[in-house]
Structure 1
Amino acid sequence: MSRYSGDMFEVLAFVYDNYWYGDTCPALPTLQRKLNQVGFADDEIVPALVWLEELKRASQNMLTSKWSADPWAQSTFLQPSASTMRVLSAAEQNHLGCDGWSYLLFLVSVGALPQARFELVMDRVMATPDAPMELDDLKLIVLMVYWSLGEEPAALVLDDLCDSHTGRIGH
């Protein structure tokens, strides 16, 4: 059994919706009390808080290595050369599923997910329940990565990330 439940995403969505900027989010004990007060159970909250803490650590690592003068400090988030290609492991492929991988390719192609941010998304994807994951859950992970970096995606990308395509009629 995974250490994360599907309800973890509901908690993450609540955190994203109520704390627009990651730095406005209260400390974990306070956040846990607030989440309990609004009706989330501990078995939903604890995995989400662990996931958030790991996201915070990875985001801080990315931000500090970005500005570091030491090239070895950037080893976690190295920028590839133009001739390199990212290949997904079998576990990553299974976790994302075809829809998830297609969506990430779309975000990369429009410049919304540069390499370092992509790797941070993949790190957080692999820290979620068994797969394949739902596309809406992947979109939430991408939003949470932006959130943790104190950034906001471009308006059209944000609109797409927040849009559920269920029931949409193509023109």
Structure 2
Amino acid sequence: MLDVLIYLFENFYEQNESEFLVDRDNLLDELLEAGFAEAEILKAMTWIENLVEMRDGGVQTHLQVSSVSSMRVYTDAEQFYINTECRGFLLFLEHISVLNIETREMAIARLVELENTNLDLDDIKWVILMVLFNVPDGEEAYLQMEELVHAKEHNYLH
């Protein structure tokens, strides 16, 4: 499903979100022609609709204020789908103010809904980029995340 989401985001979603959500039948046909399975396409469309609902309805959290010493505790289900490295990356993004409490919770919910136990950092980056694209007034965080998504990692031995 993540491949479908990335394909949609790169090719359709940024152009016109409202048209994307309205024209499901044509989009389904186009994605089928691109070689994606219908079940994965339908899951991806539902995933995006749920993201938009989260944005419009807001994320309901019991945590209203974050302090420097506070820590997000992940449920067993969240830990099952989001590995330690990826949870560390979410924490890093929160510390550099790319994510706030609401966007962090949106990202965690979106990651868990993928039901993929093999997510890596690149996958996480794409999901967070999609979340930030859907957040009103989140342009700065989106741009920072976009740089992280498209950055090439250079590892040099010294």
TM-score, L = length of structure 1: 0.74
Q: Which residue in the other structure is 1:46 paired with? A: 42
2:87 maps to what in 1?
101
Distance 1:75 1:54, change over 3 A: closer
Name the amino acid aligned to 2:9.
Y
- 2:7 aligned residue (14, 17, 20): 14
**Per the alignment, do residues 76 and 23 of structure 1 end up closer, same or farther by CA in structure 2, a change over 3 Å counting?**
farther
1:53-108 CA deviation, whole Å, 9 max, x = no partner? 1111111112xxxxxxxxxxx74475325375321122212321111011101110
Decide which of 87, 96, 106 is 1:110's aligned counterpart: 96
Contact 1:78–1:116 (CA<8 Å) still a contact in 2? no
Which range moved further: 22-31 or 33-42? 22-31
1:60 aligned partner? 56
Counterpart of 2:33 (choices 25, 34, 37) is: 37
Residue 119 of structure 2 corresponds to residue 126 of structure 1: no
Greater length-normalized contact order (CA 8 Å, ≥ 6 residues apart): 1
Distance 1:12 1:30, change over 3 A: same
Runs of 4+ in 1 over 6 A off after TM superposition: none
CA distance in 1, matches of 2:127, 2:82: 12
Distance 1:156 1:146, change over 3 A: closer
- Asked if 1:85 corresponds to 2:81, the answer is no
For residues 48 and 98 of structure 1, do their structure 2 counterparts lie closer, same or farther at Cα, with a shift above 3 Å needed? same
Q: In 2, distance between residues paired with 1:29 and 1:53?
A: 15
Which one-letter code corresponds to 1:112 in the other structure?
V
Two-structure CA RMSD over aligned residues (Å): 2.5
Q: Do the aligned partners of 1:36 and 1:42 also contact (CA within 8 Å) in 2?
A: yes
- Measure the CA separation in 1 of the matches of 2:132 and 2:60: 21
In structure 1, the gaps of 5 or more residues are: 1-7, 63-73
Matched residue of 2:54: which SS? helix
- Paired with 2:142 and 2:39, the residues of 1 have a C-alpha distance of 34
Corresponding residue of 1:71: none
Q: Identity across aligned pairs (percent)?
A: 28
Equivalenced residue count is: 151
1:25 matched to which residue of 2?
20
